[in-house]
Amino acid sequence: MMTSSIPENPYLLLTPGPLSTTKTVKQAMLRDWCTWDDDYNMIVQDIRAQLVSLATKTEGYTAVLMQGSGTFSVESVITSVLPDHGKLLVLANGAYGQRIGKIAEKAKISTIVLDSGELNPPDLNLLTKTMATDPQITHVAVVHCETTTGMLNPIAEIGRLVKDAGKTYIVDAMSSFGGVPFDMVDVGADFLISSANKCIQGVPGFGFIIAGTAAIESCAGRGRTLSLDLFDQWNTMEKQQGKWRFTSPTHTVRAFKQALTELEREGGIEVRHQRYLENHRILVQGMKHSGFRCLLDDKDQSPIITAFHSPTHPDYSFPRFYNELKSKGFVIYPGKVTHQDTFRIGNIGDVTPLDMERLVEAIADSMYWDRGQGESR
């Protein structure tokens, strides 16, 4: 007979998602649900309402859930929101901004990508100039937390410029929503996109989009795909009270509902943000003590994920360092920066400051390339 006990995780996932979740979030997935059942659809409706309340205090907003990874939700927005004559401007400073551009180009949407480089924030002067000189631009998109480096982009400043220019503003808040406080109306976001397995600390399986009801209604007939049609998905959820058009990830949805409850119990986004900040502070302090250097300046750094320069010692290799840490109960992330050798460590998930203190001790103990050489590298 199978047991329903939840095994302990062999390691902490120190990544930007999937991430370490609580035992109670995992436990929520032990029950099976029928997608047609009113009890299940009420959970979906509750989730939608809670997401809106987390995103803004302003009336007239709605949320829609979309199967798949976060990128599916980004693609849903890009391919459903822009009209045939629309033109998208993407502010890119990492792999995920570039991905938005690739989605648009694949869908044959007229697109311009303003790439400021992976280590620089968006060029706001160039944004203003480009919007002024290209009247065909209808929409602007940016990633809030660019997890290529951990950079936190200035979405409020960008939003003011975009709204002053009369454009629609799309914010990919995949790795920040639920962990960094902001009101989407205050930053000017018309469409906000995130995922279940990020700062709300659920498990992978779906993403979500929050937008003004009128903004989603205006997307009717624009969808360039069947399964990712944003309006059709929202319209079905509205008319059938939480019903998805196609098979929904029921276990993930139930886990996410539990994760939302745990976010509220923790004290909400502000309190969770403070925990992430403290995780980041302990991490950076410990890493600097061991001789590591952060990739970004403090002013650009998010508390979500932190990138570090790799050691230059000839004996260092990331796979070996990774395995040393994994054997001690910690899984970190390889680097994603194009022209520099880096690795990344996430600060989010069911991770406490005490966990981060244990991590920096484990890192100091795992520096095999430095043993017997003191702290010089």
pLDDT tens-digit map of 30-74: 999 999 899 999 999 999 999 999 999 999 999 999 999 999 999
Query: How far is 277 from 304, CA to CA, in rounded Å?
Result: 8
Q: Residue 224 pLDDT more than 80?
A: yes
Domain end call among 248, 265, 282: 265
Is residue 104 domain-shared with residue 199, that is, in the same domain? yes
Measured over all CA atoms, what is the biggest interatomic distance in the chain, rounded to whole angstroms? 69
Residues in Cβ contact with 268 at an 8 Å cutoff, skipping those fewer than 6 apart: none
> Tokens at residue 244, please?
């998805």
Which residue has 């990138």 as its token pair?
A: 307
pLDDT over 50 at 311, yes or no = yes
Q: Are residues 211 and 277 in the same domain?
A: no
Give yes or no for a cis peptide into 18 (omega within 30° of 0): yes
Last residue within a domain, chosen from 235, 265, 295? 265
Same-domain check for residues 239 and 354: no
How high is the pLDDT of residue 376?
33
| Structural domains in the chain (count) | 2
Q: What is the pTM of this model?
A: 0.95
Q: Residue 238: enclosing H or E segment and its boundaries?
A: helix 230-239
Kindly indicate the confidence band of residue 334, based on its pLDDT and cuts at 50, 70 and 90.
very high
Measured CA distances, 96 to 295, 301, 317 (Å)? 18, 16, 26
Residues 256 and 277 in one domain: no
pLDDT at 174 over 80: yes
Q: Residue 107 has what DSSP assignment? A: T
Domain range for 228: 23-265
3-state secondary structure of 286: helix
Q: What residues contact residue 98 under an 8 Å CB cut-off, 6+ apart? A: 90, 92, 113, 115
Confidence of residue 370 (pLDDT cuts 50, 70, 90): confident
> What pLDDT is attached to residue 2?
47
Which pLDDT band holds residue 4 (cuts at 50, 70, 90)? low
Query: Is residue 372's pLDDT more than 80?
Result: no
CATH number at residue 347: 3.90.1150.10
Residue 376 is assigned to a structural domain of this protein: no
pLDDT at 363: 97
Mean pLDDT of the chain: 95
Q: Which two tokens stand for residue 365?
A: 């103990």
> What pLDDT, on a 0 to 100 scale, did the predictor assign at position 122?
98
Boundary residue ending a domain (225, 250, 265) = 265
Residue 298 and residue 189 share a domain: no
